[in-house]
């Protein structure tokens, strides 16, 4: 039996839009039988690459990218945002159905691809291993990422291997770069990544790296390699296709276009899910729902199809509709379930309830980040059970002698004093969190002490990146977003987690007052009257 031929080629250094256009074009042409199966190597000029379903404004520092001439592109595959530059080797494998990959679930395809890359690195003397959902690591540090998408009967398996890393630019360009916990609570960005240069003790020989990857994929697929046609590939991309890539990148923006939307966030161990919605005049129906996520899903139309299903749907039917759609379309999700989508929709409905019944503004409702566990209901139910309030030290003035201490003199010169007073009036325990380790220890003690629910303040970036701390605590909570100086925006999270952040965050005094009306011992909430 004659072996199939895999066309192995290198298209060299190119812009992000050109490389994405080549991926998209190759996938379509292989699917329709107009091109042979191909393994393409390439490198990128500076660019940020977001997953198919991500919202640009939630993932990137767009102003920095524009000012620095960094291209913004959107992959055909899911997953999180990456910073790309010439120090990374990109690869794109476009193949039809093959025996070794046939009938694999999406999560298994990602694992399979990661294992192929890990085997290639092993052949270079690097002890790499595939880590779910889509990373390749060496001693817990990421050295490569893989992604998968389909255009039946073809699949695109693509990713990058870090030859070296410009961590500073990565932190500038990405709003919330993926972060992993270390034993003491924090690993710096440099400690979360490693490179071939670091592992090999010097710059790698690029030809050897490409050969190792090609051998791993050729062996895995049971094919033979052939000579590529790089010039033909690059010349096949037209100017209108490059312009189309810019439109695709901007497809989910969420930048300054959110007036009238309520927004929700659910963090799972392997995905950050976002949704925003507009409601009918009476609040009983979803007028419009939009999703954004760093998740891997199949089909690729998962979220857009759900948006169509939910438009105009009564809120009360959302759970049934999501379950029915997922079963009907044999949807595959990696790192989250249909129940997490339902949680998003419940959050949106809960925030609509706060606006209608308790007169929260849209801005105030969107600043709430509920973590509902143990079957406790929405925000109001959690707040009614709350007995502890957690306040971040960074919201205290830098001149305050209490800034790095657990306590407050309630001098009236900052919003933290208001928080302490409101908690004291309701006989709630209040604690100033002085560093990340203190947060973990406090949550552990609260859980051991049987705390039913609590109220806290932190920025949304912290909530996304440090979700594990809140999830491990397992207690229902309502967290309020803080404003002002933000350690993530200032790229000083290491100092902040250690308790050494010198700028000042701000608590929202109006939001704090609104939330306090729903806490134990509060007066009749705003929007109610005694006659009701």
Arithmetic mean of pLDDT, 500-528:
71
Q: Measured between alpha carbons, how far is 453 from 372 in angstroms, rounded to an integer?
A: 9
Residue 187 pLDDT: 47
**Are 218 and 280 members of one domain?**
no
Averaging pLDDT over each range in 198-212, 367-381, 481-495, which range is the top one? 198-212
Arithmetic mean of pLDDT, 238-259:
86
pLDDT band of residue 375 (cuts 50, 70, 90) is low
pLDDT band of residue 530 (cuts 50, 70, 90) is very low
The answer to whether residue 439 scores a pLDDT higher than 80 is yes
Residue 461 pLDDT: 81
Identify which has the larger pLDDT, 48 or 532.
Answer: 48
End-to-end CA distance of the chain: 81
Domain of 349, CATH number, reads 3.30.390.50
Arithmetic mean of pLDDT, 435-449:
93
Residue 250 pLDDT: 94
Q: Choose the final residue of a domain: 218, 249, 280.
A: 249
Return the closest-CA partner of residue 261 out of 235, 241, 285, 290.
Answer: 290
pLDDT band of residue 232 (cuts 50, 70, 90) is low
pLDDT digits (tens, 9 = 90+) for 384-428: 999 999 999 888 888 889 888 888 989 888 899 999 999 999 999
**Are 376 and 331 members of one domain?**
no
**Are 326 and 378 members of one domain?**
no
User: Can you give the residue range of the structural domain that contains 279?
Assistant: 258-366
Which runs of E-coded beta strand occur in 123-192?
129-131, 135-138, 141-151, 154-162
Structure tokens at 104: 């694999």
**Are 146 and 193 members of one domain?**
yes
Residue 524 pLDDT: 39
**Are 323 and 387 members of one domain?**
no
Q: Measured between alpha carbons, how far is 306 from 460 in angstroms, rounded to an integer?
A: 25
| Range with the poorest average pLDDT among 67-76, 144-153, 178-187, 209-218 | 178-187
**Cβ contacts of 114 within 8 Å, gap of 6 or more:** 130, 131, 134, 135, 136, 144, 146
**Are 165 and 301 members of one domain?**
no
Q: Choose the final residue of a domain: 193, 215, 249.
A: 249
Residue 3 pLDDT: 62
Question: What percent of the chain is modeled with pLDDT above 70?
Answer: 88
Q: Measured between alpha carbons, how far is 174 from 461 in angstroms, rounded to an integer?
A: 12
Structure tokens at 380: 């109001």
Domain of 10, CATH number, reads 3.30.930.10
pLDDT digits (tens, 9 = 90+) for 90-124: 999 999 877 667 778 999 999 999 999 999 999 99
Q: Measured between alpha carbons, how far is 157 from 39 in angstroms, rounded to an integer?
A: 9
**Are 345 and 432 members of one domain?**
no
Half-sphere exposure of 508 (CA within 13 A, CB side): 22
**Are 96 and 205 members of one domain?**
yes
- Residue whose token pair is 């520092």: 61
By the 10 Å C-beta count (0-12 exposed, 13-18 middle, 19+ buried), 227 is classed as exposed
Using left for φ > 0, alpha for ψ between -120 and 50, and beta otherwise, residue 412 falls in: left
**Are 100 and 241 members of one domain?**
yes
**Are 458 and 500 members of one domain?**
yes
Which SS3 state, helix, strand or coil, does residue 74 take? Answer: strand
Q: Measured between alpha carbons, how far is 290 from 292 in angstroms, rounded to an integer?
A: 7
The answer to whether residue 16 scores a pLDDT higher than 50 is yes
Q: Measured between alpha carbons, how far is 8 from 36 in angstroms, rounded to an integer?
A: 10
CA distances from 64 to 48, 102, 289, 368, 470 (A): 11, 43, 29, 27, 31
Q: Measured between alpha carbons, how far is 343 from 299 in angstroms, rounded to an integer?
A: 21
Arithmetic mean of pLDDT, 59-88:
96
**Three-class secondary structure assignment of 5-66:** EEEEEEEEEECHHHHHHHHHHHHHHHHCCCCCCEEEEEEECCEEEECCCCCHHHHECHHHHH
Which SS3 state, helix, strand or coil, does residue 341 take? Answer: helix
β-bridge mates for residue 506, sequence order: 483
Q: Choose the final residue of a domain: 335, 366, 397.
A: 366
Domain of 467, CATH number, reads 3.40.50
Identify which has the larger pLDDT, 249 or 403.
Answer: 249
Q: Do 39 and 155 touch, CB atoms closer than 8 A?
A: no
**Are 212 and 288 members of one domain?**
no
**Are 55 and 190 members of one domain?**
yes
Please tell me the total count of domains within the chain.
3
Return the closest-CA partner of residue 75 out of 103, 102, 47, 97.
Answer: 47
| Range with the poorest average pLDDT among 186-195, 245-254, 340-349 | 186-195
The answer to whether residue 295 scores a pLDDT higher than 90 is yes
Residue 372 pLDDT: 76
The answer to whether residue 528 scores a pLDDT higher than 90 is no
| Range with the poorest average pLDDT among 80-84, 91-95, 410-414, 484-488 | 484-488
Q: Do 425 and 490 touch, CB atoms closer than 8 A?
A: no
């Amino acid at each position: 039996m004659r072996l199939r031929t895999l066309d192995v080629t290198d298209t060299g250094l190119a812009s992000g839009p050109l490389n994405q256009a080549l991926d998209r074009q190759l996938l379509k042409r292989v699917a329709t039988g107009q091109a042979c199966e191909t393994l393409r190597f390439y490198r990128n000029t500076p660019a940020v690459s977001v997953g198919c379903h991500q919202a640009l404004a939630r993932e990137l520092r767009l102003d920095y990218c524009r000012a620095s001439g960094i291209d913004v592109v959107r992959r055909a595959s899911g997953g999180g945002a990456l910073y790309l530059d010439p120090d990374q080797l990109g690869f794109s494998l476009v193949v039809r159905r093959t025996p070794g990959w046939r009938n694999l679930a999406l999560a298994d395809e990602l694992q399979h691809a990661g294992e192929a890359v890990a085997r290639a690195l092993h052949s270079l003397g690097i002890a790499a291993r595939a880590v779910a959902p889509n990373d390749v690591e060496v001693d817990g540090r990421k050295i490569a990422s893989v992604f998968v998408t389909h255009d039946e009967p073809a699949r695109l398996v693509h990713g990058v291997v870090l030859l070296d890393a410009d961590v500073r630019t990565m932190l500038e360009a990405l709003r919330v770069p993926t972060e992993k916990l270390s034993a003491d609570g924090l690993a710096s960005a440099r400690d979360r990544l490693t490179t071939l240069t670091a592992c090999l003790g010097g710059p790698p020989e690029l030809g050897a790296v490409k050969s190792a990857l090609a051998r791993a994929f050729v062996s895995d697929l049971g094919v033979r390699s052939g000579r590529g046609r790089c010039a033909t590939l690059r010349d096949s991309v037209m100017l209108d296709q490059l312009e189309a890539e810019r439109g695709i990148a901007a497809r989910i923006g969420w930048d300054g276009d959110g007036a009238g939307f309520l927004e929700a966030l659910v963090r799972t161990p392997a995905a950050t899910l976002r949704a925003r919605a507009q409601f009918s005049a009476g609040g009983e129906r979803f007028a419009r729902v939009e999703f954004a996520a760093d998740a891997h899903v199949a089909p690729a139309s998962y979220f857009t199809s759900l948006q169509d299903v939910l438009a105009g749907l009564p809120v009360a039917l959302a759970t049934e509709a999501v379950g029915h759609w997922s079963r009907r379309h044999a949807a595959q999700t990696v790192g989250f379930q249909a129940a997490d989508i339902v949680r998003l929709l419940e959050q949106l409905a809960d925030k609509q309830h706060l606006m209608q019944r308790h007169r929260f503004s849209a801005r105030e409702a969107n600043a709430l980040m509920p973590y509902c566990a143990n079957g406790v209901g929405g925000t109001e139910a959690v707040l009614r059970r709350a007995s502890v309030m957690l306040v971040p030290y960074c919201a205290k003035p830098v001149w305050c002698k209490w800034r790095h201490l657990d306590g407050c003199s309630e001098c009236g010169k900052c919003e933290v004093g208001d928080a302490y007073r409101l908690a004291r009036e309701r006989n709630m325990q209040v604690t100033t969190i002085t560093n990340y380790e203190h947060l973990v220890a406090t949550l552990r003690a609260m859980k051991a002490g049987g705390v039913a629910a609590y109220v806290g303040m932190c920025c949304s970036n912290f909530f996304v990146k440090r979700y594990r701390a809140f999830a491990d605590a397992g207690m229902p909570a309502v967290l309020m977003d803080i404003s002002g100086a933000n350690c993530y925006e200032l790229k000083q999270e290491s100092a902040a987690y250690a308790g050494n952040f010198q700028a000042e965050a701000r608590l929202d005094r109006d939001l704090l007052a609104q939330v306090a009306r729903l806490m134990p011992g509060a007066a009749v909430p705003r929007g109610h009257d005694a006659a009701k």
